[in-house]
Amino acid sequence: MREQTLILNSIPVDELTGSIATPIYQTSTFVQDAPGVHKGYDYSRSNNPTRKVLEDCIAALENGHAGFAFASGLAAIDSVVKLLEAGDEIIAVDDIYGGAFRLFTHVYQKFGIKINYVDSTNAQNVANAVTDKTKLIWIESPTNPTLKVSDIRTIAKTAKENNILLCVDNTFASPVSQKPIDLGADIVIHSATKYIAGHSDLIAGLVVTSTQELSEKIKFIQNASGAILGPFDSWLVIRGIETLTLRVKQHAENAQKIAEFLQEEKLIKNVYYPGLKTHHNHEIAKSQQKYFGGVIAFDLVIDDKELASQIVSGTKLFKLAESLGGIKSLCCLPCEMTHKSIPAEKRYSSGVTDSLIRLSVGLEDADDLIDDLKQAIATAVKANADKASVTA
Ligand SMILES: *Cc1c(COP(=O)(O)O)cnc(C)c1O
């Protein structure tokens, strides 16, 4: 079955009533026929029929064994870390999502879990970092905000050979573009807040497991820790997923056009987008992604925070806000917003300079988005004409 058909076909018609739309079972508990005799549902933390539709759908989309819906992407990540024990080690991509960095370093380290951050864009670095304590490899591809791409197939081989779990944060690619389990990963997580729900109207997370054993463990943790997604938000995510293929295709088509435009701009130094031939791992991205996503980052020839700040404040269609993956275009200045808590030196070494701008390209017409960027850049340049390198 093709992707968009698979999505719609995996969201069933309600058996009880024939409702074509998934009913919202907004209930905490379920009446039992006799003690312990029920219709498969007893309490909504353990199981809820609306949440189950979403969980089955994401499992089908990621070619996994089971899916689990959480109250946020970070709650999803948290459930995977809870598979570990004190003394275990995680190897994680150094350009990791800030919230995951905070959780690993500032919450789990004090419980005796060690984290080793490596540049996984070279798969050999991951192999070199393996010790007999390593229990989990944590990859994001592409990463936030500089769109670094790691070779999931090769890293999966290293994980298998050493009996280590590989978890891929697939938020930026979406399951429409990239299927980590097919590439050898054991677990996939999503911030469904982004492309999967797609409308910037909720916070949600998903976990997909590849084996029955992992499914049972995550199910246990989900119920034991309790950070489940509520029925109404589950329904909104289902509503979003129904158009995922169409949105992801259009986000990527728009982003490609905009990235190519940005490459021609004199004021711009680096453009980071996996769909550009100049991207350092373009060939690997091509081998594992069907589309290149909707996020672009770029920095300026003069690394001036003020100038960059004026550009992101001067756009009209690109709204200045954190987050990404929604239908409306957003822009942000990571050094002052999403990446402010990261020490400047570490930030710089991962490419997040003072002038780095991140775009989440939405579904407006690409030419209007390009015009918007053109006017914002021109206005900012005019205002900074006294700075020699801006006019040069
Ligand atoms: C946003 C994001 C998260 C965290 O998800 P929340 O839903 O905000 O908790 C994790 N990973 C990546 C790559 C993200 O972009």
φ, ψ of residue 32 to 5 degrees: the values are -100, 150
Residues with Cβ within 6 A of ligand 1?
72-74, 97, 99-100, 140, 144, 169, 171-172, 191, 193-194, 203, 205
Same domain, 326 and 236: no
Atom of ligand 1 nearest to the CA of 323: 1
Tally the domains of the chain: 2
Same domain as 232, residue 208: yes
User: What residue's CA is closest to ligand 1, atom 7?
Assistant: 73
Instruction: Please choose, from the candidates 376, 104, 172, the residue with its C-alpha nearest in 3D space to the C-alpha of residue 262.
Output: 376
How far apart are the CA of 48 and the centre of ligand 1, in A?
A: 24
Cα 119 to ligand 1 centroid, rounded to whole Å: 20
Q: Of these residues, 151, 169, 233, 299, which one is catalytic?
A: 169
Residues 307 and 113: beta-carbon distance below 8 Å: no
Q: In angstroms, what is the span from residue 382 Cα to ligand 1's centroid?
A: 36
Both 235 and 298 in a single domain? no
Domain that holds residue 222: 3-241
Do 210 and 156 share a structural domain?
yes
Q: How far is the CA of 96 from the centre of ligand 1 (A)?
A: 10
CATH number at residue 278: 3.90.1150.10
Q: Which of 212, 241, 270 is the last residue of a domain?
A: 241
Distance in Å, CA 171 to ligand 1 centroid: 7
Atom of ligand 1 nearest to the CA of 205: 7
Same domain, 22 and 70: yes
CB neighbours of 172 closer than 8 A, spacing ≥ 6?
140, 141, 142, 143, 144, 147, 194, 293, 295, 324
Atom 6 (ligand 1): residue with closest C-alpha? Answer: 73
Cβ(170)–Cβ(178) under 8 Å?
A: yes
Mutate to test the pocket of ligand 1, among 96, 148, 191, 237 (most ligand atoms within 8 A of CB): 191
11 and 142 share a domain? yes
Contacts of 345 (CB under 8 A, 6+ apart): none
Pair 8, 94 in one domain:
yes
Nearest-atom index, ligand 1, CA of 76: 9
135 contact partners, CB below 8 Å, separation of at least 6:
83, 84, 85, 88, 89, 90, 164, 165
CA of 97 to the centre of ligand 1 (A): 7
Which of 241, 275, 299 lies at the terminal end of a domain, its last residue? 241
169 is catalytic: yes
Q: 211 and 271: one domain? A: no
Tens-digit pLDDT string for the chain (392 aa): 899 999 999 999 999 999 999 999 999 999 999 999 999 999 999 999 999 999 999 999 999 999 999 999 999 999 999 999 999 999 999 989 989 999 999 999 999 999 999 999 999 999 999 999 999 999 999 999 999 999 999 999 999 999 999 999 999 999 999 999 999 999 999 999 999 999 999 999 999 999 999 999 999 999 999 999 999 999 999 999 999 999 999 999 999 999 999 999 999 999 999 999 999 999 999 999 999 999 999 999 999 999 999 999 999 999 999 999 999 999 999 999 988 877 888 888 889 999 999 999 999 999 999 999 999 999 999 998 887 566 54
Give the residue, out of 74, 147, 195, with the most ligand 1 atoms within 8 A of its beta carbon, to mutate for a pocket test. 74
Tokens of 32: 């039992």
pLDDT for the residue numbered 392: 46
Assign residue 97 the CATH number of its domain: 3.40.640.10
Residue 326 CA, distance from chain mean position = 12
User: What does the block give as tokens for 41?
Assistant: 């549902």
Residue 54 and residue 238 in contact, taking contact as beta carbons nearer than 8 Å: yes
Atom of ligand 1 nearest to the CA of 143: 13
Residues 175 and 265 placed together within one structural domain of the fold: no
Catalytic choice (25, 51, 78, 97):
97
pLDDT at 388: 57
Q: Which of 194, 247, 347, 358 is catalytic?
A: 194
Q: Whose alpha carbon is nearest atom 8 of ligand 1?
A: 73
Query: Which pLDDT belongs to residue 244?
Result: 98
Does 45 participate in catalysis according to the annotation? yes
Q: What is the DSSP letter of 105?
A: I
Q: Note whether 165 and 134 are within 8 A (CB).
A: no
- Predicted confidence at residue 384, as pLDDT, reads 87
Q: Within this chain, do residues 160 and 288 fall inside the same structural domain, yes or no?
A: no
Distance from residue 292's CA to the centre of ligand 1 (Å): 18
Domain end among 241, 267, 296: 241
Residue 321 and residue 214 share a domain: no
> Strand pairing partners for 92?
117, 138
Omega before residue 343 within 30° of 0, cis:
no
| 178 and 252 fall within a common domain | no
pLDDT at residue number 389:
64
